[in-house]
Structure 1
Amino acid sequence: MGHQKGMALLNIVKAQASLEKRLQPLGISVTWNEFSSTAPLLDGMGAGAIVFGGGGGTGSVFAQAGDKSFVRVAAGTGSTRGSAILVQENSPIKTLSDLKGKKVAFAKGSGQHNNIVRALEKVGLKFSDIKPLYLTPAEALPAFERGDIDAWLIWDPYTAEAERKLRTRLLADNSTVFGDKAPLESPSFYYAAPDFVRDYPDILKTILQELEKAGAWSRDNYQDSAKLLYKLYKIDLKTMETVEERGGQREVLPVTDEVLSGLQRMADTFYELGEPKVLLSDEATSALDPQTTRSILDLLRDLNKRMGLTILLITHEMAVVKQICDSVAVLNAGKIVEKGYVSDLIAKPESFLAQEFFHHRNGYKPKPGAVIATIAFAGEQASQPIFATLARNFDVDVNILSGSVETVGDRRVGQFHIELEGQKVTQALKYLHEAEF
């Protein structure tokens, strides 16, 4: 089971262990995984980490566009007041129009991403008129408190927490933006893995029944609900009571065409914004462990191939350049010192990249009559038996001092630092030069 803050019914079911009580007699255990928002929750579902979860509709639009596999099995209703655009109490921003040119923070792919686009449209502004900052709630709260952002789009319980702890002012909520259509324009959904829906319809029905019970109980007992959830949410009881008091009807509804109409408008909104052509990744793998680094590089590679994005990657890590980049520009003291295809530069012994990738032994003195040479090759050359050819055709001894063969993109490149000794060393060197090694 996947849950997140803001999906109260799932958290009530978790806290009451009601699902465990229903399924334990059937020999079924329940485990829970918490996610920061809908997008990573659906990623987890696609990876097989969970079979059921809940979250905002916007995240599912992005997931669907990314060919993630999931089913919307039910819709949820909640508070339209809990989803808000907050500014500092003393902020000069008085209306939505005042957001022009301002730094506005929200979680990318969340319902707030959709809300800010629609709020700006309401006053004749475009998304490009603001400076969007894609921050998780945990990142945005301290930034908002420091005054690093001008406005913050957020949802309960984070809204209530910020309003209680900080000097904030409500600029708008879902009712301001969408009017009486707010419940349809910002729906939440319950999601399940397709094979789970197909293979275990009875268990799915049980889960939805427990969610319905949790909704009815919390509507009639909001103070008790707050006492149940405030420790789970790790916020104070008074804040949790505010969240639960304005929690709305909290119904579990079927996914109808009317419910999906709001989701379709979300999809249309993001489609009209257009897809980015270039993605900037600035030191995305800095100081990370190898497993996390591989995960990020896999994600960037997937975005490059699936969305056709050109990725501008800024890094100090040469291994990252080798693994993912096609072309490279090397900067030193703010100036480009070399540029070109990665594989071409690595194949040139004198290039900066080649020297970084292929570290040669220093201080080695050749034997009398011997010569030290550097052999560089790329592509089909990497598969040729070059050392055997030298020994066979020129009767020279080949002593490998250092070197390796690397795969850069889909191309093999390599460099070897060798010592050549024999009567025909000059002819061997001529052969290497003419063969462009």
Structure 2
Amino acid sequence: MKRFLPAAVLLPLTLLLSGCSGSSAAEDSSGGAGGNIAGKGSLTLNVGDQKGGSEAVLRAAGELDELPYKIKWSTFTSGPPLLEAVNAKAVDIGSVGNTPPVFAAGSDSKIAVVAATHGDSSAEAILVPKDSPLKRTADLKGKSVAVAQGSSAHYLLVASLRKAGLDIDDVKIKLLQPADALAAFTSGRVDAWAVWDPYTSQVLRGGKSRVLADGNGVVNGLGFQVAAPSALADKEKAAAIGDFVERLRRAQDWVFEHPEEWAKVWAKDTGLPYEVALDAVRRTYGTRVPVAVDAAAIASEQKIADTFAELKLIPRRFSFADYVDDRFNKGLPPSTSPARGYGKAGS
């Protein structure tokens, strides 16, 4: 089978750090684009980040100017290891997708979900080659599908199969991290790939793939800021966390208002082609709305938790509400608020 994209175009994605799955140790940032940022006062907030993540967007939006505290950034490949660091008190707060907190809480990690965004779910997708005979989710029966374990796409796959009347055992699941899944998909070693942006945007931009099913009406489109309970119990750190999440909310508004400017920054920071970055901003990242961690968000996450517990992919059943701290909701709109939109992304 022909490769879908030139290797030179695919390479940046294999290096891109994803917010949804995987495992890796952290690397402390240092120098101009990381490390300790001078601020007023002696407090240091330890923030877990991912390449092209919170630090990049806060800096681009001007929200790192005149900080009343210092930030020490630690870079992770994905959500699960970031939450391991939160549990170990090595990180005070960090951004993850909708599924890593479920797996962390399922292992009884010491975490607290403190802030949320709601965005468009169309980039949570099951992709197939453009000339694939598969036309609907039900056609996946007996086929091989690549997905990262514990990722938001993992739940997308499970929920999409159930919606189509299939069970997870009806398909051949290949648990692969994004770089390996990308190689398997582009070389034809799997029939489909359940994934998220910016991978969705890059593969679709190549013109040789299409969406079999996406997350609209299937996944909740939520992303979270997750903090260490020990940091929240510290009065000064809790105040800094409140300020930090407020800055992120303003930065998210800035992204929506300046998609091209942010895409340029994001492309430079991650190595993504500008066109792919802009597609991903318009399809997913710029659509996010800061929302409350409310009863609807908790119920939606509980559904994910119950699903994975039923499949015995997490070790126990638990109440997701026990892992939420809603002190920073501050009159935010409900978690079901519509995502913002730019119109159709990509070509």
TM-score normalised over the length of structure 2: 0.72
CA deviation digits over 1:236-277, x for unaligned, max 9? Answer: 10111111122354222221111111101001111221359x
The 8 Å contact of residues 116 and 223 in structure 2, kept in 1 or not, is answered as yes
d(CA) in 1 for partners of 2:54, 2:109: 24
The 8 Å contact of residues 226 and 237 in structure 1, kept in 2 or not, is answered as yes
CA deviation digits over 1:97-149, x for unaligned, max 9? Answer: 11111111111111111111110001110011111111111221111111111
1:13 has 2:58 as partner: yes
d(CA) in 1 for partners of 2:211, 2:56: 26
CA deviation digits over 1:136-190, x for unaligned, max 9? Answer: 1122111111111111111111111111136111111111x52xxx5xx242111
d(CA) in 2 for partners of 1:102, 1:36: 29
SS of 2:72's equivalent in the other structure is: coil
The 8 Å contact of residues 4 and 55 in structure 1, kept in 2 or not, is answered as no
SS of 2:233's equivalent in the other structure is: helix
d(CA) in 1 for partners of 2:59, 2:249: 13
Counterpart selection for 2:268 from 231, 235, 242: 231
The 8 Å contact of residues 145 and 166 in structure 1, kept in 2 or not, is answered as no
Shift of 1:18: 2.6
The 8 Å contact of residues 10 and 54 in structure 1, kept in 2 or not, is answered as no
Amino acid at match of 2:58: V
d(CA) in 1 for partners of 2:310, 2:221: 18
Of all paired residues, the percent bearing the same amino acid is 35
Find the counterpart in structure 2 of residue 120 from structure 1.
161
d(CA) in 2 for partners of 1:132, 1:249: 30
CA deviation digits over 1:345-401, x for unaligned, max 9? Answer: xxxxxxxxxxxxxxxxxxxxxxxxxxxxxxxxxxxxxxxxxxxxxxxxxxxxxxxxx
Counterpart selection for 1:267 from 288, 302, 305: 305
Find the counterpart in structure 1 of residue 90 from structure 2.
49
5+ residue gaps, structure 2, are 1-46, 317-347
1:255 has 2:301 as partner: no
Counterpart selection for 1:4 from 50, 53, 61: 50
d(CA) in 1 for partners of 2:87, 2:50: 17
d(CA) in 2 for partners of 1:214, 1:77: 15
Counterpart selection for 2:222 from 175, 184, 187: 187
SS of 1:191's equivalent in the other structure is: strand
TM-score normalised over the length of structure 1: 0.58
CA RMSD of the aligned region, Å?
2.1
Question: Which structure's relative contact order is higher, taking Cα pairs within 8 Å and 6+ residues apart?
Answer: 2
Amino acid at match of 2:262: S
Find the counterpart in structure 2 of residue 71 from structure 1.
112
d(CA) in 1 for partners of 2:229, 2:66: 22
The 8 Å contact of residues 61 and 251 in structure 2, kept in 1 or not, is answered as no
d(CA) in 1 for partners of 2:71, 2:62: 9
5+ residue gaps, structure 1, are 277-305, 308-437
Find the counterpart in structure 2 of residue 221 from structure 1.
258
Counterpart selection for 1:155 from 183, 196, 202: 196
Higher strand proportion, which one? 1
Amino acid at match of 1:197: L
The 8 Å contact of residues 83 and 159 in structure 1, kept in 2 or not, is answered as yes
Counterpart selection for 1:244 from 281, 295, 314: 281
d(CA) in 1 for partners of 2:173, 2:187: 17
d(CA) in 1 for partners of 2:298, 2:155: 15
Shift of 1:231: 1.3
Higher helix proportion, which one? 1
Amino acid at match of 1:242: D
d(CA) in 1 for partners of 2:75, 2:171: 31
> Which one has the largest radius of gyration?
1
Shift of 1:44: 1.9
The 8 Å contact of residues 208 and 252 in structure 1, kept in 2 or not, is answered as no
SS of 1:57's equivalent in the other structure is: coil
The 8 Å contact of residues 56 and 265 in structure 2, kept in 1 or not, is answered as no
SS of 2:99's equivalent in the other structure is: helix
Find the counterpart in structure 1 of residue 246 from structure 2.
209
Find the counterpart in structure 2 of residue 336 from structure 1.
none
